A and B are shown apart, each in its own frame.
Chain A
Amino acid sequence: MNYNLSIRKLSVSKGNSGWLSKIDGICPLCNMKISFSKDANGKPIVISSNRHYVSGSHSGDYIATVVSHSATGVDIEFKKNRAEELIYYIADNCERELLENIGSESLLACWTAKEAAQKADAFISDIRTYKIVKIDANKLSFGITRDGKYWNGKWIINKEFVCTVAVED
């Protein structure tokens, strides 16, 4: 899983429209200069290279950005109480059993894993169609799949947020 993740706290909440500007234009993985645009759906794309992928997310005062050489997605969610129905809506029995290993943050871990995979997959499918199939609770890593595609993922969990990166295998 080769990626570079940056999580920054903004002094003033600015919304998510400017997150591309938080990537400084040099790939942290290979030092190549990269420049960005957005496709017709608003998805950020790298226009200077066909081997770089970017993704961004915003929640509360935090912005997360990721750069990778494989299709990638990132999602960050500020911690707050959520309806308990949400985990039953997005995760099946097998996934909920796996997620028990993550403990109290299993709901946000599940949501952000699926949203990150959905972003890496260019938003082509409903979030519920992505299935978590493997979790390593010690490393806070997971595998997630949809229709034969597979993404490796990593959670960053702290007292304020859950942030998740998914990178295509």
Chain B
Amino acid sequence: MKISKKDFINLLIELFEVPSAPEDSLDLSQYIKDSIDVGELLSVLKIRYQIDIDPNDIQAVTKLGDVWDIVKAKS
């Protein structure tokens, strides 16, 4: 299944209760705090959208726009 940016933002809202209509500059480390949170995001991307992201690829990335760029590149 293809993921749109809107889908991705809705996923962040569903999993981590980020604010609706977030800016690309939103610091996701406020919401994705632990390794299990990262695992949860990657698991939904892989199983719901067939997007396989290496955990190391998003470890150092914190801004929503940067994470979306990685998701978009892999989708």
Contacts of A90 in B (CB 8 A): 39, 43
Q: Mark A69-109, 1 if CB is under 8 A from B, else 0.
A: 00000000100001101101110000000000000000000
The stretch that binds A, out of B2-10, B24-32, B44-52, B62-70, is B44-52
Residues of A contacting B: mostly = helix
Task: Summarize B's interface: helix, strand, loop or mixed.
Answer: helix
Contact yes or no, B36 A89, CB < 8 A:
no
Q: Which residues of B contact A88 (CB under 8 A)?
A: 43, 47
Distance, CA A88 to CA B45, complexed state (A): 12
Cα(A86)–Cα(B47), bound, Å: 9
Interface string of A102-120 (1 = CB under 8 A from B): 0000000001000100000
Q: Is B61 an interface residue (CB 8 A)?
A: no
Cβ B46 vs Cβ A89 within 8 A: yes
Are B39's CB and A111's CB within 8 A? yes
Which of A83, A90, A111, A127 has most B Cβ within 10 Å? Answer: A83
Query: Chain B nearest CB: distance from A84 CB in Å?
Result: 9
**Chain B positions within 8 Å of A126 at CB level:** 55
CA distance A127 to B36 in the complex (A): 10
The answer to whether B34 and A59 touch across the interface, beta carbons within 8 angstroms, is yes
Alpha-carbon distance between A77 and B35 when the two chains are bound, in angstroms: 10
Given the contacts A83-B15, A83-B44, A126-B55, A89 and B39 also touching, CB distance less than 8 Å: yes
Map CB proximity to B onto A121-159 as digits: 1 under 8 Å, 0 otherwise.
000001100000000000000000000000000000000
B71 at interface by CB-CB < 8 Å: no
Instruction: Specify which of B15, B36, B44, B48 is in contact with A77 (CB 8 Å cutoff).
Output: B36
Q: Bound complex: CA of A7 vs CA of B75, how far in Å?
A: 41
Q: A77-B36, A111-B36 are in contact. Are A85 and B55 (CB under 8 A)?
A: no
Measured CA separation A126–B40 after assembly (Å)? 14
Expressed in whole angstroms, the Cα–Cα distance for A127 and B35 within the complex equals: 10
> Ordered nearest first, which 7 A-B pairs have the shortest CB separation?
A89-B43, A85-B47, A85-B43, A86-B43, A85-B44, A83-B40, A83-B44
